[in-house]
């Protein structure tokens, strides 16, 4: 059997070792992991099964074991480093049965394997405790950065494809099909995995962020806000740009100029030792000088399955930047419910400052 | 502003009226809806914002109101029938802040709007209670069936594209790009919305269901299990077929023949008054005669965001079929962790039996 792992096994061994060290610091013998991104981080498994109960058990003194729907056990064998006899499938009849309780089945086996002592501690695990462990993902290894770099490379190519396809009269779904295909096809050296659906609200939808596309044609004199992300073994590389269909009006031009100037100010703060809020403060100061306001945060850590729910580039977040953190510097400016633009890059903090992982030029793209 | 609604407003008014009737039967004055599919069902809203708190409040004696992240309010205006002054955005600073609690903000406003009497009942709402209301979605209106029919039409076209693209030596990601593009591009009359990533495990991965694709080339003498779904305003139409790269071996041929024969037996049970378990029993009986076993269920209701979490086509589910229920008759046979095939159709129960909404021929597709 061919196991298609994102990384060599030693990468996962290092992660488990670091996790166990953190568990020990906190006096935890047994960690129950249900979050799909955390499971991918620790095992490599990237099958789509988090819509039903699943559980990875990491103990201090025993090998990790995975519990999942029987039907998905093979998927775990094929995409994780876990040995076959460490993956347990609960019976299929527990799925789709309102009376069925897969967790009861799972917990019985967790107790059997780990003994009463750890079993008694299960009740102390809160979701708050579990969330703290997500912080381990914020600093990336060189291997992880390579995956994000590959994803950014694919995202750049997909953005280029968007610039080629978006034209007045073209249906939004036609452009979306080409962008999504570019994200999946990838490069001759490596393909895209999974499929983050591009957000691409157009015209009066440009004031909002999280809409995909319609099947209506683009109109000259409007603009499109593209949020594109590629996936490499579930690692995301993201980029946002605005495309103007014809010459931009004065307001869009002014907002874009303000955003670019503020972007430059934010970039000056991207270095080890700076605080997350420093980036947001630097950005906001400049856009305010131009009469605009950014209400949403300026970005977040990016990694497995895109957004990592830990630090935020927002006022009040005093997390210090450290080398090999990766962020989506997300400078979308939704200034009114029906008017806004987007602009972003994926960056890696390095020893002296940062490195941009995207290569798409920083400009308002104009197509005719 | 152009609102791109899946249906005319009266469709949503009917749904809300039916929901209120059910609420009244159960003595519920105020229903709190957090599930993205239920929110789409009641309002039309299909933005991707369920990763942060959001809440639709349906009261017996007041118009529905929606609470969501401020940044997504515009998306709700653009894709739902809700009037602008019924959509409330909580401040962006509550997002990505571990101390921020959007629900506290939301509940304060719910209490302000609804008064103490209903406020006092909030504590009685359990997720179990809420789940019961998902059953309302199981019978579809003619308008909904039209959307699912369109989605099935697109899914058929995407399956045809898969048959054209999957060849020995082609990288899996190349085929995936073409399939996904076909799902999004749709037809000249209507495009696909959103993007369900196709599952398409190949070779030894054929024993498992929920893997997407790799960037490795297809090998002659293996087979690919395709699970393809198109989206029309988030309504899914799904279809599964197996493609053999070269002449199928004897075992695959026998399993496919058994599945097809069992499929015919299952179809005979697809009629009003039959029970969900009847379909599973009929299917299982035939595959067992051929020495095979289906451990997973035989299907589930299909609608908004694909799977509806209510009835199951499984032994023990005594839900009676009624006209205008729609199911994904999902006959995947994963008989070993590294060997299986897939086969399905999307069907609508009608007055006398059923109607298949897919047109792809029922056969094992062979490509060279």
pLDDT tens digits for range B176-202: 999 999 999 999 999 999 789 999 999
The residue of A72, A177, A227, A341 whose CB has the most chain B CBs within 10 angstroms, and thus the best one to mutate to test that interface, is: A177
Q: Which of A2, A186, A337 sits opposite B173 (nearest CB)?
A: A186
> Contact B181/A180, CB-based, under 8 Å?
yes
State the pLDDT at residue B128.
Answer: 52
Confidence class for position A269, pLDDT limits 50, 70, 90:
very high
Q: Which of A216, A309, A338 sits opposite B74 (nearest CB)?
A: A338
Contact present, B282 and B270 (Cβ < 8 Å): no
Q: How far is B116 from chain A (nearest CA, A)?
A: 31
Chain A residues whose beta carbon lies within 8 Å of the beta carbon of residue B78: 201, 204-205, 208, 211
> Contact A193/B184, CB-based, under 8 Å?
no
With a cut of 50, which residues of chain B have pLDDT below it? 116-121, 123-124, 126-127
Burial of B119 (0-12, 13-18, 19+ CB in 10 A): middle
> Contact A297/B95, CB-based, under 8 Å?
yes
State the pLDDT at residue A328.
Answer: 98
> pLDDT tens digit string along A58-94?
999 899 999 999 989 999 999 999 999 999 999 998 9
Indicate if the pLDDT at residue A345 is higher than 80: yes
Pairing mode of beta strands B235-245, B365-367: parallel
Number of A/B CB contacts below 8 angstroms equals 216
Chain A residues whose beta carbon lies within 8 Å of the beta carbon of residue B201: 75, 78
DSSP letter, residue B168: T
State the pLDDT at residue B4.
Answer: 86
> Contact A2/B204, CB-based, under 8 Å?
yes
Q: How far apart are CA A327 and CA A329, in angstroms?
A: 6
Q: How far apart are CA B97 and CA B93, in angstroms?
A: 7
The residue of A45, A195, A219, A327 whose CB has the most chain B CBs within 10 angstroms, and thus the best one to mutate to test that interface, is: A195
Confidence class for position A3, pLDDT limits 50, 70, 90:
confident
Tell me the percentage of chain A whose pLDDT exceeds 70.
Answer: 95
Q: How far is B123 from chain A (nearest CA, A)?
A: 21
The whole-number average pLDDT for the span A222-239 is 97
State the pLDDT at residue A131.
Answer: 62
Chain B residues whose beta carbon lies within 8 Å of the beta carbon of residue A97: 312, 314, 316-317
State the pLDDT at residue B123.
Answer: 46
> Contact B92/A173, CB-based, under 8 Å?
no
The whole-number average pLDDT for the span A209-232 is 96
> Contact A314/B97, CB-based, under 8 Å?
yes
- Residue in B with minimal Cα distance to A178: B181
State the pLDDT at residue A99.
Answer: 82
Chain B residues whose beta carbon lies within 8 Å of the beta carbon of residue A214: 4, 191, 193
- Residue in A with minimal Cα distance to B299: A96
> Contact B75/A315, CB-based, under 8 Å?
no
The rounded mean pLDDT for chain A is 92
Chain B residues whose beta carbon lies within 8 Å of the beta carbon of residue A314: 93, 96-97
- Residue in B with minimal Cα distance to A338: B74
Chain B residues whose beta carbon lies within 8 Å of the beta carbon of residue A184: 173, 176-177, 180, 213
Confidence class for position A133, pLDDT limits 50, 70, 90:
confident
The whole-number average pLDDT for the span A42-68 is 92
Chain A residues whose beta carbon lies within 8 Å of the beta carbon of residue B79: 211
State the pLDDT at residue A141.
Answer: 95
Indicate if the pLDDT at residue A120 is higher than 50: no
- Residue in B with minimal Cα distance to A48: B210
* Angle CA B146–B150–B152, to nearest 5: 115
Radius of gyration over every alpha carbon of chain A, rounded to an integer in angstroms: 22
Whose CA is closest to B187, among B158, B226, B214, B216?
Answer: B158
Q: How far apart are CA B319 and CA B199, in angstroms?
A: 29
């Amino acid at each position: 059997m061919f196991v298609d792992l994102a990384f060599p096994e030693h990468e996962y061994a290092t992660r488990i070792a670091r996790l166990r060290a953190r568990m020990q610091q906190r006096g935890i013998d047994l960690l129950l992991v249900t979050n799909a991104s955390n499971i991918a981080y620790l095992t490599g498994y990237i099958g789509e099964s988090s819509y039903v109960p699943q559980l990875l058990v990491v103990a201090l003194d025993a090998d990790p074991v995975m519990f999942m729907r029987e039907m998905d056990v093979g998927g775990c064998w094929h995409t994780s480093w876990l040995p076959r006899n460490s993956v347990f499938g609960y019976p299929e009849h527990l799925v789709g049965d309102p009376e069925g309780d897969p967790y009861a089945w799972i917990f019985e086996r967790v107790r059997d394997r780990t003994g009463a002592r750890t079993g008694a501690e299960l009740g102390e695990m809160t979701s708050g405790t579990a969330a703290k462990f997500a912080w381990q993902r914020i600093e990336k290894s060189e291997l992880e950065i390579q995956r994000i770099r590959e994803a950014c490379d694919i995202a750049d190519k997909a953005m280029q494809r968007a610039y080629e396809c978006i034209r007045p009269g073209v249906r939004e779904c036609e452009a979306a099909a080409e962008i999504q295909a570019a994200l999946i096809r990838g490069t001759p050296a490596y393909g895209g995995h999974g499929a983050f659906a591009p957000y691409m609200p157009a015209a009066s939808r440009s004031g909002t962020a999280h809409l995909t596309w319609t099947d209506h044609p683009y109109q000259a004199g409007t603009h499109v806000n593209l949020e594109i992300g590629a996936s490499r073994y579930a690692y995301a590389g993201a980029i946002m740009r605005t495309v103007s269909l014809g010459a931009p009006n004065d307001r869009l031009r002014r907002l874009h100029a303000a955003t670019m100037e503020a972007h430059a100010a934010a970039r000056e703060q991207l270095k080890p030792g700076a605080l997350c809020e420093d980036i947001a403060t630097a950005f906001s100061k400049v856009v305010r000088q131009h009469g605009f306001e950014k209400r949403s945060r300026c970005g977040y850590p990016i990694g497995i399955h895109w957004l990592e729910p830990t630090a935020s580039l927002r006022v009040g977040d005093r997390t210090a930047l450290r080398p090999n953190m990766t962020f989506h510097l997300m400078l979308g400016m939704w200034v009114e419910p029906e008017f806004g633009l987007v602009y972003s890059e994926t960056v890696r903090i390095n020893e002296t400052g940062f490195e941009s992982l995207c290569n798409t030029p920083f400009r308002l793209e104009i197509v005719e």
